[in-house]
Chains A and B, each alone.
Chain A
Amino acid sequence: MQEIVMPINNQGMALLCLLIPLLPLAGFIINGLGNRSIAKGLVSFIGSGTVLASFLITVYLFLDFTSNGSRAYTVDFYNWISVGDMRIGFSFLIDQLTLLMMLMVTGIGFLIHLYSAGYMSHDENFGKFFAFINLFMFSMLLLVMGSNYVMMFVGWEGVGLCSYLLIGFWNKNTSYNNAAKKAFIMNRIGDLGFLLGIFLIFITFGSVSYPQVFAEAANYTGGIDSGVMIAITLLLFVGAMGKSAQIPLFTWLPDAMAGPTPVSALIHAATMVTAGIYMVLRSNVLYVLAPTTLEVIAIVGVATAVLAATIGLAQNDIKKVLAYSTVSQLGYMFLALGVMAFSSSIFHVLTHAFFKALLFLGAGSVIHAMSNEQDIRYMGGLRKYLPITFVTFLIGTLAIAGIPPFAGFFSKDELLAHVWEHNKLLWGLGMLASFMTSFYMFRLVFLTFFGTFRGTESQKSHLHESPFSITLPLIVLAILSTVGGFLGIPAVFGEGNHILQNYLAPIYSYAQVANAAAVAPLHLDHATEWMLMGISVAVAVVAAIFAYVMYVSKKTVPAPEGERLSPVHNLIYNKYYIDEIYDTIIVRPLMWMSAVFHRVLDTVVVDGIVNGFGKLTTYSSRTLRYAQSGMIGFYLMVMVFSIVLILFLNFFIG
């Protein structure tokens, strides 16, 4: 039966919970106000230190939570909004999912802060960078800790804002600013859906607080797949589409690579983009009530996974390849959500956070060594110069490609096993994407670290392994990418050893009540499970061998800019011209409409009215001033006649 989530009555714990988001906020304020007047050492100490403190508190909270029987609780601070029947509290919900996300956000966040201290050390706006990234930590923690949809929305907007600020961090470059604007605007489209979803939740359940909404939903009488449920879940999913870069709102994420590399790692790979998955997972009880939406999510997810993977095959910018792989992996996570493999999805979120942060930070280390060169066509042979980066990057690649025993294998395999049970076609497409993922990741590794160096002489003389503050996070993340998968050991190796699944089980208790059939555990016989595992490993290895043959044995280097490509290659190299299509069917007509409105409504109508008043006044004053002739006799005459006129009017009209 369902446990009711109780508010905690321990003041000390409540304070600790509050400190977790407040510490990064304090860091933001200090570093933001003292941008250039605080010494760089102190800035990085404050920036990283506050996040480390949050992480340690989170660990303490986690240990306390698990040792006290893993009972979810809320921490209420005050009544934030109260209008009519609506009461929205400023409160946190601490449960298994929240703690997992908090650990991930603060843990990886701290590593990336540490990395930034080294990576950004030459930047003049060092303090600004740390301020923004701390603000991001605050918003993200608010997003995952909030106990109602409105607080989630506040965090949601906060991370969107930080994403915008950080993509456009080097704001002297117009194309970076455009990328930032694109990310912001695309996210707004999604946010509108999210907001409408929240309104609909409030109308349907009379509350936006999770415990109340989920309890109501568990006893929902409208039946499964009712119209309102589909509407709510679809609207929420539109929000997730924007934030987590799914078709059709994914084009901002590759462009978001304009930001500094630590930002790409933290915001656009490990944490913020998984907010959409967190949101769907948090609302799992609503989603199990709307299987139709889940079908849509699965289709969108798999389409995104395949599409992004194909684009990744032909990109030459090291960060762009990783960006498309992020989009593709996010597609996997949504695919998992779509087939109701909720735990597998969050498992993949977790492992992906490890290995994708690792890959991005590794890419950052490479870019750092290459004096800001990002094009893999000018790299090669870096393994000799950057040994630590090479080894850790290789681990990340093995993890994302799904080669055992690295983390990605476990999560992706589990995820695809669920998909297999649900729909064989989706599984096939997932496998296809997996093949391509492995191929383009190994292509990246081989082109970057193997072969001979293809850059300029001056770049070659600068090649050096990155400093300790950069390699340390790489090593830690490499370890996590290696062992992270053992959180979810497949059933063949012992039933009930899936630590993560056991841990997360309580968050589906409402869903269990609402639609028990939907959340039934996976039951595959061991032979099938072995077969699926075998296929997925084989696919990854074959792709890796292909990449090896092509880029190491044959020493193929992608064609330089401007060379003629085969039509298919050209199509994927240009990202299916999706940006151009959006430009033609959405941006251009909007621009045109704005231009028309500007010319017609604004310049003619509005300006006409405003300027008209001005002109009228000027004109009439210019004319009337001749009445002020200075002749007293004339004034007197006018006065007399006016009085006479008034008297007449008074007599004959009044």
Chain B
Amino acid sequence: MNNIPEVIQTIPLDYYLFFSAALFVIGIIGVLTRRNAIVIFMCVELMLNAVNLLLTALASYRGDANAQVFVFFIMAVAAAEVCVGLAIIVMTYRNIRSTDVQLLNYLKW
């Protein structure tokens, strides 16, 4: 049985790069265009995962474990962030009966 880096290396590096770039851009566009807080949140997660994928791919191609450790950290932080973020969204919904970020414009000049 081949080990995981070898499995990863069965696909050329370029593919990973393009794929994560595409995921990342989709995430950005989602963040910029959508108004629903939950969707924006999901798009942010998408961007995080695009980065995670890129880190893992490069780690196995370059034989460097540091990046993989880093991925674990990102996942842990992302989990914490989801916790807080979803709690905020729930509170927002309870207050304004909506998750539309455009409605949250009280804090301005």
Give the Cβ gap from A643 to chain B, nearest Cβ, in Å: 10
**Given A637-B32, A640-B28, A632:B109 Cβ within 8 A:** no
B31 touches A630 (CB 8 A): no
Within 8 A of A (CB), among B2-54: 28, 31-32, 35, 40
Binary contact readout B50-77 vs A (1 if CB under 8 angstroms, 0 otherwise): 0000000000000000000000000000
Most-contacted residue by chain B among A625, A628, A629, A633 (CB, 10 A): A633
CB contact between B32 and one of A626, A630, A633 (< 8 Å): that residue: A633
A630 touches B35 (CB 8 A): no
Most-contacted residue by chain B among A625, A631, A632 (CB, 10 A): A632
Minimal Cβ-Cβ distance residue in A for B44: A636
A630 touches B28 (CB 8 A): no
A632 touches B101 (CB 8 A): yes
- Contact count A vs B, C-beta below 8 Å: 30
A633 touches B101 (CB 8 A): yes
B32 touches A628 (CB 8 A): no
For chain A, give the interface size range.
10 to 19
B102 touches A626 (CB 8 A): no
Give the Cβ gap from B51 to chain A, nearest Cβ, in Å: 13
Minimal Cβ-Cβ distance residue in A for B29: A640
Chain B contacts for A631, CB-based, 8 A: 102, 105
Within 8 A of B (CB), among A592-632: 625-626, 628-632
A629 touches B108 (CB 8 A): yes
B102 touches A633 (CB 8 A): yes
Assembled-state Cα–Cα distance A632/B107 (Å):
10
Assembled-state Cα–Cα distance A633/B109 (Å):
16
The answer, yes or no, to whether B104 is at the interface (CB within 8 Å) is: yes
CB contact between B108 and one of A628, A633, A637 (< 8 Å): that residue: A628
Give the Cβ gap from A624 to chain B, nearest Cβ, in Å: 9
Within 8 A of A (CB), among B74-109: 101-102, 104-109
**Given A633-B32, A633-B35, A625:B104 Cβ within 8 A:** no
A630 touches B101 (CB 8 A): no
Chain B contacts for A625, CB-based, 8 A: 109
Give the Cβ gap from B103 to chain A, nearest Cβ, in Å: 10
Binary contact readout A176-193 vs B (1 if CB under 8 angstroms, 0 otherwise): 000000000000000000
CB contact between B102 and one of A628, A632, A640 (< 8 Å): that residue: A632
Chain A contacts for B104, CB-based, 8 A: 630, 632
For chain B, give the interface size range.
10 to 19
Assembled-state Cα–Cα distance A632/B31 (Å):
10
Give the Cβ gap from B96 to chain A, nearest Cβ, in Å: 13
A640 touches B32 (CB 8 A): yes
Assembled-state Cα–Cα distance A633/B108 (Å):
14
Assembled-state Cα–Cα distance A241/B32 (Å):
85
Assembled-state Cα–Cα distance A132/B40 (Å):
80
Assembled-state Cα–Cα distance A631/B105 (Å):
5
Assembled-state Cα–Cα distance A640/B35 (Å):
16
Assembled-state Cα–Cα distance A632/B99 (Å):
12
CB contact between B31 and one of A626, A628, A629, A640 (< 8 Å): that residue: A640
Give the Cβ gap from B24 to chain A, nearest Cβ, in Å: 11
Chain A contacts for B31, CB-based, 8 A: 636, 640
Minimal Cβ-Cβ distance residue in B for A624: B109
Minimal Cβ-Cβ distance residue in A for B107: A630
Assembled-state Cα–Cα distance A577/B40 (Å):
90
Chain A contacts for B108, CB-based, 8 A: 628-630
Chain B contacts for A629, CB-based, 8 A: 105, 108-109
Give the Cβ gap from A587 to chain B, nearest Cβ, in Å: 55
Assembled-state Cα–Cα distance A587/B32 (Å):
73
Assembled-state Cα–Cα distance A628/B108 (Å):
5
Assembled-state Cα–Cα distance A637/B33 (Å):
9
Chain A contacts for B105, CB-based, 8 A: 629-632
Chain B contacts for A632, CB-based, 8 A: 101-102, 104-105
Assembled-state Cα–Cα distance A105/B35 (Å):
94
Assembled-state Cα–Cα distance A629/B107 (Å):
8
Give the Cβ gap from B45 to chain A, nearest Cβ, in Å: 15
Assembled-state Cα–Cα distance A58/B40 (Å):
96
Assembled-state Cα–Cα distance A265/B104 (Å):
84
Minimal Cβ-Cβ distance residue in B for A632: B101
Assembled-state Cα–Cα distance A629/B28 (Å):
21
Chain A contacts for B106, CB-based, 8 A: 630
Minimal Cβ-Cβ distance residue in A for B37: A632
Assembled-state Cα–Cα distance A640/B105 (Å):
19
Minimal Cβ-Cβ distance residue in A for B32: A637
Minimal Cβ-Cβ distance residue in B for A622: B109
Most-contacted residue by chain A among B32, B106, B107 (CB, 10 A): B32
Chain A contacts for B32, CB-based, 8 A: 633, 636-637, 640
Chain A contacts for B28, CB-based, 8 A: 640
Give the Cβ gap from A636 to chain B, nearest Cβ, in Å: 6
Give the Cβ gap from A626 to chain B, nearest Cβ, in Å: 6
Assembled-state Cα–Cα distance A636/B32 (Å):
7
Give the Cβ gap from A457 to chain B, nearest Cβ, in Å: 80
Assembled-state Cα–Cα distance A626/B40 (Å):
25
Give the Cβ gap from A264 to chain B, nearest Cβ, in Å: 69
Most-contacted residue by chain B among A626, A636, A640 (CB, 10 A): A636
Chain A residues at the B interface, C-beta cutoff of 8 Å: 625-626, 628-633, 636-637, 640
List 11 A–B pairs whose Cβ atoms lie within 8 Å, in order of A's numbering.
Answer: A626-B109, A628-B109, A629-B105, A630-B108, A631-B102, A632-B101, A633-B35, A633-B101, A636-B32, A640-B28, A640-B31
Other than the given A632-B105, A636-B32, A637-B32, 9 more pairs (CB < 8 A) read: A629-B105, A630-B104, A630-B105, A630-B106, A631-B105, A632-B101, A633-B32, A633-B102, A636-B31
Closest 10 CB pairs of A and B: A630-B108, A630-B105, A625-B109, A632-B101, A628-B109, A628-B108, A630-B107, A629-B108, A637-B32, A631-B105
